């Protein structure tokens, strides 16, 4: 059975004090929820500056701590970069990779992301690997081609063993931070397409085992429809992860399905 996950990407929000309060609130509330950690997971991804402090106030039985990115080099003269070893030493056990904002604003491409992905896996860091199309690509009806290219150029270079260590997050980029959201049917269609690609490349068993999250303005108001779909295993949550009440509601909705 594949794991169902709600992951919160805080992006460049909160200072250390407000981030600690948010983490503490989520942590305390999760103690009152009954869930099997082998079947369900909760991930939070604060800014780099918060990782060590947050690691000290959360219980890793309930919450997995993630970075929002890692460098594509292990160490060296790369001013301002944060290595995989640095996030590990700060308490993180996961990282988001290939988020559309990293691709769009910072020019991350398949070559860069392959290096980052391999470094994460090598260091036993769970990669949450993001893929997805922009609005123009969907309007041209090439969104399936775009997603297939992103998957095949990076993820499909992995061995079966390494691929099984990856969580995928599908982001319809046109829905991120816009208040728009893919319909449950649109999201399910793409998630099913991705799962079929995995089956063709590896096997049906690997495809059914792979966790695929939806990322794109997911909130308590639309999560019921999204999480009820068979190939949507949870969400990579942006804005709603900054409000403990909303984030916890999403976790509760995920536990119902």
The CB density around residue 177, as the number of other CB atoms within 10 Å, is 13
Q: Annotated catalytic residue: which of 99, 108, 137, 143? A: 99
Q: Is the dihedral of CA 257, 9, 58, 28 positive or negative?
A: negative
Q: How many CA atoms lie within 13 A of 238 on its CB side?
A: 20
Q: Annotated catalytic residue: which of 108, 133, 137, 171? A: 171
User: 88: which 2 tokens?
Assistant: 């590990």
Nearest Cα neighbor of 191 from 228, 165, 159 is: 228
DSSP 26: H
- Alpha-carbon distances, residue 42 vs 15, 102, 116, 228, 237 (angstroms): 21, 23, 23, 18, 11
Strands 212-214 and 40-45: unpaired
- Alpha-carbon distances, residue 225 vs 61, 200, 222 (angstroms): 28, 28, 6
Burial bucket for residue 211 (CB in 10 Å: 0-12, 13-18, 19+): middle
99 is a catalytic site residue: yes
Catalytic positions, written as ranges: 99, 171
């Amino acid at each position: 059975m594949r794991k169902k996950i709600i992951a919160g990407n805080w992006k460049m929000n909160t200072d250390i004090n407000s981030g600690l309060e948010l983490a503490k609130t989520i942590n305390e509330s999760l103690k009152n929820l009954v869930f099997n950690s082998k079947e369900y997971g909760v991930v939070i991804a604060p800014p780099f500056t918060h990782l060590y402090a947050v690691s000290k106030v959360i219980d890793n039985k309930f919450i997995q701590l993630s970075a929002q990115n890692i460098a594509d080099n292990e160490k060296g003269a790369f001013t301002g970069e944060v290595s995989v070893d640095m996030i590990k030493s700060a308490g993180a056990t996961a990282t988001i990779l290939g988020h559309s904002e990293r691709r769009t604003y910072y020019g991350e491409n398949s070559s860069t992301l392959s290096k980052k992905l391999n470094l994460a896996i090598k260091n036993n860091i769970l990669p949450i690997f993001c893929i997805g199309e922009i609005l123009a690509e969907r309007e041209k009806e090439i969104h399936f081609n775009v997603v297939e290219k992103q998957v095949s150029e990076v993820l499909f270079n992995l061995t079966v063993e390494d691929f099984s260590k990856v969580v995928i997050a599908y982001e319809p980029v046109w829905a991120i931070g816009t208040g728009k959201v893919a319909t449950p049917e649109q999201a399910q269609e793409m998630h099913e397409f991705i799962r079929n690609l995995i089956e063709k490349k590896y096997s049906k068993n690997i495809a059914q085992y792979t966790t695929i999250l939806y990322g794109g303005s997911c909130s308590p108001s639309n999560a019921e429809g999204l999480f009820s779909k068979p190939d949507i295993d949870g969400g990579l949550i942006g804005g709603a992860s900054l409000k403990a009440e909303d984030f916890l509601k999403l976790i509760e909705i995920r536990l119902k399905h």
